[in-house]
Every structure is written in C-alpha cells, then in structure tokens.
Structure 1
Amino acid sequence: MGDLGADSDSAAVLRDTVRCYLDSERSVSMVARTMHIAKNTVLHRVRKAEKLRGRPLSEDRLRLHAALHLAKTLSPM
C-alpha cells in the first residue's frame, strides 16, 4: 500500500475512500453517494491515494483491495 498504509487519520480517510471506490467498481458517483461527499472530493482523494501509493490504483488492484479490507478489519477502533 505504500504510504497509504500510514497510521494517521488522513491516511485512514483515504483508505476508506479507496476501499469504497474499489468496492463500487470505481464508480465515483456511487462513492460520493455512499460517503456523502462531493464527486470532486472522491476524485481528489483517489489522486492523492495514487500519489501516496506511488502507482495507479488499477495496478495490482486485487491485492490492494484485499489489503484495504484487511487493514479495516484489523485496525484498532
């Protein structure tokens, strides 16, 4: 996950957005509705996550998706 896996609130928000984005088959509209945020916010977060990750979200997508779900499941609440 690269720096997307950082232990910070901002990284956690990005991980949640990317997980939702991948869950919804990369539908920006669906993510915006689900998370109650603007489409531009979704796009901004996706771009930021790609920058932190150092490569596109489409690269090794299945492994990233699994890692995001594991991070959500295993993270302390």
Structure 2
Amino acid sequence: MQQRTVTMPVKRTEVYSRPTWKHMATPCQPPTYNGQMCTRVQVVHEKAYRDIIDHKTAQQMSYDCCSGWSRENPRADACMKREYF
C-alpha cells in the first residue's frame, strides 16, 4: 500500500462586482426652464458570476498486489486474479 499526494482541479462559481457604464437621465445642470432631462454616463457595479478553477491536494491510497496476483480490472480494489506461470 502506498499513499501519495495528488492535485485535483475543482471548479467553483465566484460572485464579483463588475463595473459597467450606464446612461443615466438626470435633470440638466444648470436646470432649464422646461425641466429638460440630460443624459450622462455613470459607472455602476453589477453582480456578475465567473467560473474559477482551484487546485486542491488530497491523499490517495494505491495498493500493490502480492506476487502471483493481479486485479481483474484497473479499477478493482482487490487482487483476486491468480496469475499462472
């Protein structure tokens, strides 16, 4: 039996604040006699999502078969196949 450290990618979704330019209607400065609205551009922060890949380490056990025995397939946990010489 051997223990080894492996690094595995793990995907997660992150929420972040994204700056965005927005056109805003505001009263003109100086104010006009008829209350006319002017457009200006303003930076606003919107909630956005992005995928992040983290690399996490984990311990993994691997087993070696005794001489004369092997696994029936690579994913098998036990050494149940007898090898004949």
What TM bracket, shorter-length normalisation?
under 0.3
When normalised by structure 2's length, the TM-score is 0.14
Q: Which structure shows the bigger proportion of residues in strand conformation?
A: 2
Q: TM-score scaled to structure 1, two decimals?
A: 0.15
Higher share in helix: 1
Q: Rg larger in 1 or in 2?
A: 2
